[in-house]
């Protein structure tokens, strides 16, 4: 009869897979609770002050608009999605605008 041993790698793999099971049936965000917009994020990256301020104050209607609007050619910020309310979306992106500068709004 073969002796079974439980290694740390096997245990951690099993525990990790088991911990992900509850997430399979959950949606990432509740449906109908807002509108998805995009922004640039410097999280985990070294960015210039100009890129940090630019990323902190702009929202974009599409991923492409966020990708193309860099603070300068060396801007390495990544594009992430955020969810905002429908009222704020209508206020920011009226008249067909593709981007919104929050510094000019407030």
Query: How big is the chain, counted in residues?
Result: 106
* Counted domains in the chain: 1
Tens digits of residue pLDDT in 34-84? 899 999 988 888 888 888 888 888 899 999 999 998 888 888 888 999 999
**Domain span at 54:** 35-105
Tens digits of residue pLDDT in 89-101? 888 888 888 998 8
Is 66 a member of any domain? yes
Is 16 a member of any domain? no
Is 68 a member of any domain? yes
Checking 27-30 for CB contacts under 8 A at 24+ apart, the result is 29/83
Is 78 a member of any domain? yes
Is 7 a member of any domain? no
């Amino acid at each position: 009869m073969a002796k079974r041993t439980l290694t740390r790698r096997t245990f951690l793999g099993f525990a990790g897979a088991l911990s992900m099971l509850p997430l399979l049936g959950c949606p990432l965000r509740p449906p109908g609770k807002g509108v998805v917009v995009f922004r640039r994020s410097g999280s985990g990256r070294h960015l210039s002050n100009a890129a940090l301020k630019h990323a902190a104050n702009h929202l974009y209607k599409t991923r492409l608009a966020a990708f193309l609007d860099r603070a300068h050619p060396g801007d390495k910020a990544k594009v992430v999605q955020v969810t905002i309310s429908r009222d704020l979306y209508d206020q920011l992106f009226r008249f067909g605008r593709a981007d919104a500068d929050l510094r000019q709004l407030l």
